[in-house]
Structure 1
Amino acid sequence: MPDPLLTKHGESQCAALAASFPHTSRITHLVASPLRRTILTALLSFPSLVEPPKSLKIITVPELQETSDAPCDTGSAPEVLEQDFGVGQWAGKVDLSRVKEGWNVKSPGSPWSPEPEKVEARAAVSRRFLRELGQEYEERTGEAAHIAVVTHGGLLHFATEDWTGFKKVKGTGWENTEWRSYVFGEGEKKESLVETGESCKRRAGSEIPLTADEERELNASIGGIKE
């Protein structure tokens, strides 16, 4: 099914996340993949943030779309998204300005294709966007930015450069509505996301993330994960 909406089960998972997520009040930005299910996940998981007094707009970022070219992972045309989220109950809550014509063309050679090098390039662009978004906010307000990103299990491995727990059959090591916390590194790692110790401990029982060398070794050992 092309660019499906959330199932009833998916909606219930969002409601559970909305009720249990402990850091909602700290969030300064909502960012999502422009696929319809991720936009809806953001809307339903953070309902208090898209309403007054915060009235955050969900910033859709095409580089955060899922990696494959399967119909379910291929987004809708901008005019369709505008019809779905630009009017009615979601009017004014979703920023689609970055979603341009052709963002959902995943043919070979396209910048949006599932070729590993293209996915890696998109992941790098998304990290840079998030870093600059946070920096702009911090320079303008003098306060720390806390950005909630709603995206896809496959893309998250590329974006975080963390392949721990990857399951080839599922295409990801992430569960639906699972959340983890990251900060940007320093120095040579300033363009990389580093999982916080609290997040590592919560999901893996250890405050020590894998080193860069360990990540490369793990990545290399999982044959074909980027195909």
Structure 2
Amino acid sequence: MAPVIDIIRHAESYHNLFGPHVRDPGITPIGGEQDCAALRKKYPYADDVIFIIASPMRRCIETALKGIAPLLDEGQGIISLLPDLQEVNASPSGTGSPLSRIIDMYGEENIEKATVPEDWYLKGPDTRNAPDPAKVQARARSARHSIRNATRIAARHNPDAHTVVVTHGEFAHWLTDDFAGMTNTRNSAWWNCEVRSYRFADLENRDDDDDATLIEIDTPASLERRDSYLPAADTEERKRLQKQIAVLHVLGHGRMADMWAGQELEENA
């Protein structure tokens, strides 16, 4: 066997209910907590988890802390923050919080922050996180490289290791290079707390210029389950069209970025 990467979309968050005006929202106390409880029940690989890697946004950290970390032995549920996994858009709900505030909220004992700058969340046009298709694609590729590096380390401890990655629904499409289910009105086909499992096409490749391609594996029957509601991506033409739709969504986020910039940002409790 080879190490597995389990990619998870975050649990229900305040912005899923009330829209994009809330800055860096956490998960909701009803739907979000229920999503995490369901994730704890259905996730079967806890004994093999070596790393939990998450977007530094609150909803992803909380999903990791409440949905996966409780399944692990004491001291193993530390969340490694990876800014490349953050949300695509630049709305208040798509914009994170300073590292110091994250640490204040969740505690240094729960967070691995060594490579995260204080202003990791900035999304201006001159930053790597701006809602621009080329930058989103580059960020997804960089995230895959970071995850692959961690997975190689995990494999030294356990050849069947699982690396858990918690990110956002839209970015998950870019991370996996699979845009099935996107439409002009729907920017993600990932459900809250949905788990999809992958392996790297070449785990040992250390070339910084390769794509670090992920290949989805049918664990457990996730591909078959989605056949009923996702448009098939069975030809190159369909794959190109699906990605073009994803690009249009990012371009729309880019046009909205100026509107969001400088606005007064609310925060949920």
- 1:25 is aligned to 47
Gaps of 5+ in 2: 1-21, 252-269
Following superposition, which runs of at least 4 residues in structure 1 exceed 6 angstroms of deviation? 187-190
CA distance in 2, matches of 1:111, 1:19: 37
Question: Which of 54-63 and 67-76 deviates more?
Answer: 54-63
- 1:150 is aligned to 166
Q: Cα–Cα, structure 1 residues 131 and 16, in superposed 2: closer, same or farther, change >3 Å?
A: same
- 1:113 is aligned to 130
What does 1:185-196 correspond to in 2, within 5 Å? 185-186=201-202, 191-196=212-217
Match of 1:38, as an amino acid? C
After TM superposition, give the deviation of residue 20 of structure 1 in Å.
1.9
Match of 2:144, as an amino acid? R
Give deviations 1:54-97, integer Å, cap 9, x for gaps.
Answer: 623111100000000000110000110110112xxxx5122122
Gaps of 5+ in 1: none
CA distance in 1, matches of 2:158, 2:103: 34
Higher RCO, 1 vs 2 (CA within 8 Å, ≥6 residues apart): 2
1:225 corresponds to 2:249: yes
After TM superposition, give the deviation of residue 211 of structure 1 in Å.
5.8
**TM-score of the pair, normalised by structure 1:** 0.86
Question: Which of 118-127 and 17-26 deviates more?
Answer: 17-26
CA distance in 1, matches of 2:93, 2:245: 28
- 1:13 is aligned to 35
Match of 1:181 among 197, 200, 203: 197
Match of 2:239 among 215, 221, 224: 215
Match of 1:71 among 92, 107, 127: 92
Give deviations 1:148-195, integer Å, cap 9, x for gaps.
Answer: 111000100110010001144342111111111111114898711111
Match of 2:132, as an amino acid? E
Question: Which of 59-68 and 108-117 deviates more?
Answer: 108-117
CA distance in 1, matches of 2:87, 2:50: 24
What does 1:29-178 correspond to in 2, within 5 Å? 29-52=51-74, 55-86=76-107, 91-138=108-155, 140-141=156-157, 143-178=159-194
**TM-score of the pair, normalised by structure 2:** 0.73
CA distance in 2, matches of 1:125, 1:223: 18
Q: Cα–Cα, structure 1 residues 20 and 109, in superposed 2: closer, same or farther, change >3 Å?
A: same
Contact preservation (8 Å) 1:49, 1:55:
no
Contact preservation (8 Å) 2:182, 2:242:
no
CA distance in 2, matches of 1:35, 1:4: 8
